[in-house]
Structure 1
């Protein structure tokens, strides 16, 4: 296995420290020291797998701003819409529930991008990405969907992915 570079450790440490500050919402000295310790441990154990290939990819403004917009606007909006849809189905027994598994084509090549999209789909209520496969050079997700409205792969993919794939593609060009 390839050894991680110093820049991979540093980038992972900075990312983890920023995430710690975001989660705690505190700039107290004790919190910052604890966050630095946890971030250092996380960087030591995960830099090879998280940031080794392109350690400073996130700090590139061409990726950073679309990532922030995705995380703060696009994904929360899709999450809110899916929450309302599932809540309405739970509260109104007349709304259809037609669960099933659909095969959805995915136009992303990056492993990071495919992982981000599959996690985003899984985090939205009503859908779970069950498997990622590659068949004849094309990537597919098998997704369990609470209300299968389309059996055609392309149309089902458009309904499930919405604008998520487009934004993930911008981040992981």
Structure 2
């Protein structure tokens, strides 16, 4: 893997620089990210029971992920504010981890990609799951947050080839 010789968020003088996207074509851009919260089997069963003291773990984490995607530009320096056309956050219980797999899909019709929005949605959804369940299991681990695929824009489509370790 070679690194790009020019980092777009730095000026020629090495200063922070917001990329000028005004000349880029507006296209549909989609990004999918994933992550997971690894926990004890008892914690997973408790999460699935719907008996968490703070309320519905998955509904709360879904709303948190969606809200976070919409605020990505406030959290990541030099990130463009985007008019998202869709953001979805889904969960899958995985007894093999044991834990919860989190997946986010972000869409925009615009001049820049939505990878950061999808990654932010997953990150905050995972953090919310941790927060909702920490009274039961402080040993939970958030990991494997990664971009899975993206489409649209000048660089075209990309899909992660390697598989994350279990």
User: TM-score, with normalisation over the residues of structure 2?
Assistant: 0.31
Greater share of helix: 1
Instruction: Answer 1 or 2: which has greater strand percent.
Output: 2
> Which TM-score applies when normalising by structure 1?
0.30
Name the larger-Rg structure: 1
Return the structure number with greater relative CO, CA threshold 8 A, min gap 6.
2
